Amino acid sequence: MSDHLATIDRIDLKILNILQHNGRISNAKLAEAVNLSPTAVMARVQKLSRENYILGYYAHLNPEMVDARFLVFVEVLLDKTTPHSLEDFIEAVQDCPEIIECHMTSGGFDFVLKIRSKDMDDYRKIAGQVLWHLPGIKETRSYPVMQVVKEQSQLKLNFKK
């Protein structure tokens, strides 16, 4: 068990699980679901937020409805992987709203990016005007997604405590 999970109990895990599936649940309904008073639940949620178990709340948007239906994963190989070149790349990626996820990886490539755009033409513009202007890029490989089979942000939580 991780050190972090040692500081929360089964009720906290249940609260986290409920909130990650419905971040808009009322405090009263959340309290009812975990058999605590609204005051006690609010204190726990505040503690979980303060301790960074909860990083934020957001609306899950439909990409089709906001002209972001085209999904591409991009492998990025940098020309060198010194601490300075990695920091430069990571910092530059932070300023690119077209890149919705960036993960440093091991193996054949240094990073994997997740990009959403309107269509292939829009992605080509992003590749030319954004990706290839990021510092230190030696090579990229793009993987346009034909069908999203599963996409979720909820984590599987261990309730064995």
Total structural domains in the chain?
Answer: 2
In this structure, the answer to whether residues 74 and 129 fall within a common structural domain is yes
Nearest alpha carbon to residue 69 among 139, 119, 131: 119
**Residue 41 sits in which domain range?**
5-50
Give the integer Cα–Cα distance in Å for 29 and 37.
10
Same domain, 39 and 67: no
138 Cβ neighbours under 8 A, 6+ residues apart: 77, 78, 79
Question: What would the mean pLDDT of 128-151 be, rounded to a whole number?
Answer: 95
Asked if 14 and 74 sit in the same domain, the reply is no
What global pTM score does this model have? 0.85
41 with 67, same domain? no
Sign, Cα dihedral of 149, 109, 103, 141: negative
In a domain, 136, yes or no: yes
Among 101, 129, 104, 130, smallest CA distance to 115 is for 101
Asked whether residue 55 is domain-assigned, the answer is: no
Average pLDDT over residues 41-53: 96
Would you say residue 93 has pLDDT above 60?
yes
158 is a domain residue: no
